[in-house]
Amino acid sequence: MNIDESSAVPSPWRVRHSFPHPVVTNVSDAPLALARAMIREGDEVHLEQWGLVLPGDQNEICLCGLETGDLCVTLSWRSTGAEGRELLWQFVF
């Protein structure tokens, strides 16, 4: 799959990796709509829905009892003016 670099969007998130409760912050100047975290451990997926995340807002993700060896967190959101595109950004421990 070819990726069009002209459509690349910088991540609006900053993560403080403090396991088992990482904190993600919206470091952009824009509100992020329909924001959520999808936590995948092996074949299991857990969802935390936040809704609207304003600039500077922080959200703590609970990873208690999960193993970091097969763990991936995907943040999903829609930017205002992004024509309804869902954007994704992942991090691991």
- Model confidence over 57-68: pLDDT tens digits? 999 999 999 988
Domains of the chain, first to last? 12-91 (2.60.40.1940)
pLDDT of 3-54, one tens digit each?
566 677 889 999 999 999 999 999 999 999 999 999 999 999 999 999 999 9
Q: Sheet harboring 58-60: ordered strands across?
A: 13-16, 23-26, 58-60
Specify the pairing of strand 32-41 against strand 87-91.
unpaired
The pTM score is 0.86
| pLDDT value at residue 6 | 63
